[in-house]
Amino acid sequence: MVATSVLVTLVVASAASLFMAWTIGAGSSGSTPFAPAVGANAISVMRAGFFVGILGLAGAVLQGANVTETVGSGLVLFPDGGGLSATAAIIALVMAAVLVAVGIFTGYPIATAFTVTGAVVGVGLAMGGQPATAQYVEILALWVAVPFVGGGIAFATAWSLRHESVDEAVLVPLLAGVVAAILANVKFVLLAPGDEQASLARAVADAAGTPVLTTTVAVTAVFALTGTALLYRDVRADEDAGQRHFLLVLGGLVAFSAGGSQVGLALGPLLPLLDTGPAAGVPLVGVLLFGGIGLLVGSWTGAPRMIKALAQDYSSLGPRRSIAALIPSFVIAQTAVFFGIPVSFNEIIVSAIVGSGAAAGDGEVSRGKMGKTVLAWVGSLALAFAVSYGAFVAVAALR
């Protein structure tokens, strides 16, 4: 009887996690990466929805471990070293998913990372856990830095692409080289034994038995030169087509990064439940695949509508400003994945768009909307915390 109860609890928690993954895939992480490309007429809505689902699934499996572990065990500290109970995990996931789903269907910018973080901290503290102050400082530092770093990089990139003294046929390929160099140093789960992660550069060094630093520099240089050369040839043949191709690649990389960053928000609360019981011994890659499938379904069923709606806003950006917005989005997302910090893709994308818009001279148009969006982000965090804390206390009182 006890075993059956444990199994039922795990099934309910898994269903809540899957619902959370669906809302993430259908929301900002499933719609924003390719919206600029759709707005620039580089790809159709349905194709964008298809590819963002596939790439999000790949990112979840290959890069989702760090954020998943942070959300699962790093947000609240328990004296016995444990984590959220099954009841707490279910409440956190359901409350966060409902809030995000309401945002999707009403058009309010509910930030997934803020919502899940608030919900997990709320139920954790209600259980009697202690605040993970050091972790909160890191998370808050990144959240505060995102608008300035993302917006600043987007502004500088957009300004450079618009400047008369800059040759776009040279600058755009150089930007592609920078992106390729970063990609060479991005860590993936399957490139290292067990649940460890390694970059392509590190994997080459381990396979060849050569010094890590020397090999990393060499592989990074090869990636940078290859990326620059390929896009330079493409741009020289047709400048507009080359920029659209680069925009598609950036959209794919951001979609991949979104999967690696956002899947942890759906899976993290489940991790303590997988240490014992029927799911004990399930490898982390299998858990990430489960969450990635949820993102995939959400992207295929909900993202096309969101992409179509967002593309109308992005259509005024054009390929150049879209490139300027997606480059910092990719960089910031990978930084968050590396440090295992949950981050909002709404915040990343909006900040980058505002930055690129400021370079074009129309940044003031977004001030009122940006203020309301920031209030919605803060409100998402506070509301999720309060509702989840209260719900857990109420459920505990009924027992």
Q: What one-character-per-residue DSSP string does 166-215 give?
A: S-HHHHHHHHHHHHHHHHHT-EEGGGSSTT--EEHHHHHHHHHT--HHHH
pLDDT in the model for residue 368: 63
Token representation of residue 69? 């572990």
Residue 221: count other Cβ atoms within 10 Å of its Cβ: 14
Give me the helices (H) in 268-364, please.
284-314, 318-339, 345-359
Strand partners, 187: 199
Q: How many domains does the chain have?
A: 1
Contact 14, 93 (CB under 8 A): no
pLDDT digits (tens, 9 = 90+) for 72-130: 888 998 887 777 888 888 888 888 888 877 776 766 657 788 999 999 999 999 998 89
5-19 pLDDT tens trace: 666 777 777 888 888
pLDDT band at 228 (very low <50, low <70, confident <90, very high): very high
**pLDDT for 350 beyond 70:** yes
Q: Say if residue 316's pLDDT is above 70.
A: no
Give the separation between CA 374 and CA 208, rounded to whole angstroms.
48
How many whole angstroms separate alpha carbon 357 and alpha carbon 158? 8
Amino acid 367: pLDDT: 62
pLDDT of residue 79: 81
pLDDT for res 1: 46
Range of the domain at 189: 2-398
* Average pLDDT value for residue range 325-341: 90
Helices 239-267 and 284-314, packing angle to 10 deg = 130
Q: Which of 20-29, 151-160, 179-188, 294-303 shows the lowest per-residue confidence on average (mean pLDDT)?
A: 20-29
Give the model's confidence band at 365: pLDDT under 50 very low, under 70 low, under 90 confident, else very high.
very low
Question: What Rg value do the Cα atoms of the chain yield, rounded?
Answer: 21
